[in-house]
């Protein structure tokens, strides 16, 4: 009997996502075994992701299990995946994508972001969210907020901030939808690459029969097409969790519409580009959009961002 061994982080959200993959496999008669662990990104909460190092902070230990043959696959939030996977690893499936928007979570659902007379304090660990808030709502204050969703809500209720800025998908999956005070328009606050999507990673040596079974059970073709474009864009910019890159691909019939860009850390400069093309050219669309950003101020802005982060 085929058994798929699944590696995952221990957080409630990670376990929810992993269980959804396990359920999809078991519906097809494939037994599963879940092995959970804490990664570097889960253990080190007193530093920002940028300070820890953005490459593999949530994935490195899970990849070690894959390489050792202790697990067959690892389940991740697609937005946590670095632009270049280590040699010998690949993403083999993407789950059906959830709503992609950023949201504000608070016990006060009547928050007014535009009211500069009472500036709000927003908790977030994302450099992209901080930069975009500085651009669109410069009167707001942001505070670094690490930890799982439940930990962050506890910190908010202790007075560390007025609201948390998070991904809708995680908030909804954890049952906190009634605390959503504001939903940001995804055409303005363009999400990070992969937000709202579950990614399945495997070692290149995974047997073909297991790979095929996994794709049949888990992979959503439209989500995969969009993620191929977004990840190609991210690779071209060599972005990661510590770089304020954003990118979102959507499908309209046979066309793929990609919107992506880069924002300076202080929010003063926003570079954006939209590219439309046939859906079967998803990789090329993402690469071309990334090249456009690089050729139109992005290369210099990326160098500046990295200098500022090295100096801080």
Catalytic residues: 80
Pairing of strands 141-144, 198-203: unpaired
In 136-176, beta strands by DSSP E? 141-144, 163-167
Question: 283 near 234, Cβ under 8 Å?
Answer: no
Beta 121-124 vs 141-144: how paired, if at all? Answer: parallel
Q: Residue 202, exposed/middle/buried by CB under 10 A (0-12, 13-18, 19+)? A: buried
Q: Is the dihedral of CA 10, 13, 19, 24 positive or negative?
A: negative
Q: Helix, strand or coil for residue 139?
A: coil
Tokens representing residue 166 in the block: 């998070």
Cβ(57)–Cβ(173) under 8 Å?
no
Strands 121-124 and 163-167: parallel
User: Which of 30, 31, 32, 49 minimizes the C-alpha distance to 40?
Assistant: 49
* Beta carbons of 202 and 72 less than 8 angstroms apart: yes
Tokens of 224: 């995969």
CA distances from 14 to 39, 67, 273 (A): 12, 20, 32
């Amino acid at each position: 009997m085929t058994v798929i061994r699944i590696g995952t982080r221990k957080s409630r959200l990670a376990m929810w996502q992993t269980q959804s993959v396990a359920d999809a496999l078991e519906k097809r008669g494939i037994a599963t075994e879940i092995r959970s662990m804490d990664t570097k990104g889960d253990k080190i909460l007193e530093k920002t992701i940028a300070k820890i190092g953005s490459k593999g902070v949530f994935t490195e230990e899970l990849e070690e299990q894959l390489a050792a043959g202790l697990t067959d696959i690892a389940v991740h939030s697609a937005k946590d995946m670095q632009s270049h996977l280590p040699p010998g690893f690949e993403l083999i499936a993407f789950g059906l994508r959830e709503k992609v928007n950023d949201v504000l979570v608070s016990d006060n659902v009547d928050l007014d972001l535009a009211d500069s007379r009472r500036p709000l304090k927003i908790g977030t660990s994302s450099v992209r969210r901080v930069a975009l808030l500085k651009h669109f709502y410069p009167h707001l204050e942001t505070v670094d907020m690490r930890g799982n969703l439940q930990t962050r809500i506890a910190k908010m209720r202790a007075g560390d901030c007025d609201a948390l800025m998070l991904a809708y998908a995680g908030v909804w999956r954890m049952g906190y939808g009634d605390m959503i005070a504001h939903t940001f328009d995804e055409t303005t606050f363009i999400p990070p690459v992969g937000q709202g999507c579950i990614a399945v990673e495997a070692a290149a040596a995974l047997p073909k029969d297991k790979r095929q079974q996994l794709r049949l059970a888990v992979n959503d073709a439209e989500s995969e097409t969009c993620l191929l474009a977004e990840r190609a864009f991210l690779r071209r910019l060599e972005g990661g969790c510590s770089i304020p890159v954003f990118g979102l691909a959507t499908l309209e019939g046979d066309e793929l519409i990609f919107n992506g860009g880069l924002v300076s850390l202080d929010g003063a400069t926003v570079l954006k580009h939209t590219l439309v093309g046939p859906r079967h050219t998803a990789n090329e669309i993402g690469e071309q959009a990334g090249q456009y950003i690089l050729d139109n101020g992005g290369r210099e802005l990326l160098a500046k961002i990295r200098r500022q982060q090295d100096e801080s």
